[in-house]
Amino acid sequence: VVTQMRELDIQCRDIMQDIEYHQDIYSKEVEGVTKKKALMSIQRALIRCQEIGDEKLGLMAVIADHIENRQRQLEQDRENLDPTSSREIEREEQPLTIVTQSRPVKTEEKVDKVPMKRQRRQKTTSESITKEEEKKEMIPDKGPKKKKKRKASKKEQAPASPIEPPIDPDEPIYCLCQQVSYGEMIGCDNDVCDIEWFHFNCVGLVNKPKGKWFCPNCRGENSKVMRKFDK
């Protein structure tokens, strides 16, 4: 996992250098084909950076799970080796907690574990107390309060609907499908191509081909040869 994290960091650095290179071209060039290609390269690089960030978050979750499993295993091994140690610790700590109370009070057996996963798994004692009180209030009553409970659970379970980002009406469109740029795209090597850029799935590509590539409107017998246009 650590090796994968390092590889992703190297890829991210290379992409950032590529972004700086195309940014210089975009700022120096006047409106034209070269400036559009530089902008498309920057957009693809930013999308790839976001994908790398998502992959790194997934690896971090794997590392956190592994650490928590190891910690749990060590605790279990310690209890198997010396099962009486936890009881002796309770006896030593019990006189310190009993000061003015008539009945013995159980001390906490273990210190709270350091949270290793996402914050949504954490529960504080105050939250657990309030939930127990809510359950006690709802058990004896019938009718309307049950409905309120169902409504409250529905509200808690309903995920927040994602807000779609606004679409810029001035954003240029490309490809045979006449859509904006997204995902993997390839540029036609014909300098006078009207469309210039195409989505991989619209032209039947999975990986970027080697050498020159011409779109269906500009190709000849195959995608490596440009069609001869009438003068």
Cite the annotated binding site for Zn(2+) by residue number: 175, 177, 188, 193, 199, 202, 215, 218
Cα–Cα distance for residue pair 186/199, rounded to 1 Å: 7
Q: CA separation (Å) from 21 to 25, 26, 47?
A: 7, 9, 16
Cα–Cα distance for residue pair 12/8, rounded to 1 Å: 6
Which residue numbers belong to the known binding site? Answer: 175, 177, 188, 193, 199, 202, 215, 218
Assigned token pair, 128: 């657990």
Q: What is the DSSP string of 65-119?
A: HHHHHHHHHHHHHHHHH-TTHHHHHHHHHHHHH-SS-SS--PPPSSPPPPP-S-G
Three-state secondary-structure class, residue 226: strand
Output phi, psi for 79, to 5 deg: -70, -35
Three-state secondary-structure class, residue 35: helix
Residues 190/218, Cβ–Cβ less than 8 Å: yes
Residues 23/43, Cβ–Cβ less than 8 Å: no
Residues 6+ apart with CB under 8 A from 220: 214, 226, 227, 228
Cα–Cα distance for residue pair 59/53, rounded to 1 Å: 10
